């Protein structure tokens, strides 16, 4: 039986930025006076937890695209060429830019040159790349809510893989070649928020790696983690942990105080940490 994170009380928890919206029990946060939360204690077969978002920021690999076979194949090939054990390298490579991975695993090598070589291989390798179940449905459910791509891969790599699975690039994309510091540094997520024109705290990020989660949290963003490349136990620092993208649900986008928002939650055995 797989891992799961289960909250002790099966009820729906929804976060809202205005108390007049829901006629239930509200509490005012002592840290953020304008922020309220609401507990709607309706028993359900699977607990649901919700986060309000003005935009959703998606990682690519392991979130919208299943590229695990390609990543493991190319990093495994590189490891063997350099006399290293792929089992120690692949978990580090997930969620990081290749140049940062190289600096961690092979500090004596030219990180930029090695990263460029493996990136070139990955950009041409689409064997085994496939859509993540639930990705298309979730993107359609967002409706007019803005969303963006924030990836540790290059823009070309992201475009190739997303096109391969039938997903069109959104207007806002922040890739490895757009930043100086990669995840877990928050630079990429802060750049996406600036391009979208929203405060970082009003974005929800969907990630699959500890490095990506840390980057989003350092940017003061809320995070939903999906256990595709890492076990749930490794993702507990996220606000919500889902077993898969298919467990995520989103309300129809609506305007509140002039801003388009939507609520995202996990409908499954996962839940708030």
Number of neighbours of residue 116 by Cβ within 10 angstroms: 14
Share of the chain above pLDDT 70, in %: 80
Residue spans of alpha helices (H) in 125-267: 135-141, 155-164, 187-196, 210-218
How large is the average pLDDT for residues 214-236?
A: 96
pLDDT tier for residue 272 given thresholds of 50, 70 and 90? low
Please give the Cα distance from 193 to 212 (Å, whole number): 15
What does the pLDDT look like over 123-143, one tens digit per residue? Answer: 999 999 999 999 999 999 999
What does the pLDDT look like over 17-58, one tens digit per residue? Answer: 333 333 333 333 344 343 333 333 333 333 444 899 999 999
Please give the Cα distance from 249 to 48 (Å, whole number): 9
Higher pLDDT, 271 or 150: 150
pLDDT tier for residue 116 given thresholds of 50, 70 and 90? very high
- For 170, which DSSP code? P
Higher pLDDT, 162 or 253: 162
Tokens representing 68 are 């695990």
* Among 33, 35, 34, 42, residue whose Cα is nearest residue 13: 42
53-66+129-272 maps to which CATH number? 3.40.50.1000
Higher pLDDT, 187 or 3: 187
Q: For the chain, what is the mean pLDDT?
A: 84
How large is the average pLDDT for residues 103-109?
A: 96
Which are the catalytic amino acids? 59, 61
Number of neighbours of residue 258 by Cβ within 10 angstroms: 5
């Amino acid at each position: 039986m797989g891992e799961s994170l289960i909250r002790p009380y099966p009820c729906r928890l929804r976060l809202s930025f205005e108390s007049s919206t829901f006629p239930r029990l509200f509490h005012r946060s002592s840290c953020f006076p304008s922020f309220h939360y609401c507990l709607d204690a309706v028993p359900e077969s699977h607990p649901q937890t919700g986060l309000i978002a003005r935009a959703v920021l998606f990682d690519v690999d392991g979130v919208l695209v299943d590229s695990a076979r390609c990543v493991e194949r190319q990093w495994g090939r590189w490891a063997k060429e350099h006399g290293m054990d792929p089992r120690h390298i692949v978990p580090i490579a997930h969620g990081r830019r290749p140049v940062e991975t190289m600096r961690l695993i092979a500090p004596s090598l030219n990180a930029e040159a090695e990263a460029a070589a493996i990136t070139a291989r990955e950009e041409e390798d689409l064997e085994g790349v496939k859509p993540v179940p639930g990705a298309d449905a979730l993107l359609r459910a967002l409706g007019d809510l803005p969303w963006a791509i924030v990836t540790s891969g290059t823009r070309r790599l992201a475009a190739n893989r997303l096109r391969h699975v039938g997903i069109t690039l959104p207007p806002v994309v922040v890739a490895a070649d757009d930043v100086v510091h990669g995840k877990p540094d928050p630079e990429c997520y802060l750049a996406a928020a600036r391009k979208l024109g929203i405060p970082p705290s009003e974005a929800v990020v969907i990630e699959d790696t500890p490095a990506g989660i840390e980057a989003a949290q350092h940017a003061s963003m809320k995070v939903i983690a999906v256990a595709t490349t890492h076990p749930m136990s490794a993702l507990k620092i996220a606000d919500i942990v889902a077993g898969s993208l298919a467990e995520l649900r989103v309300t129809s986008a609506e305007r509140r105080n002039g801003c388009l928002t939507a609520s995202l939650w996990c409908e499954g055995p996962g839940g708030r940490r």
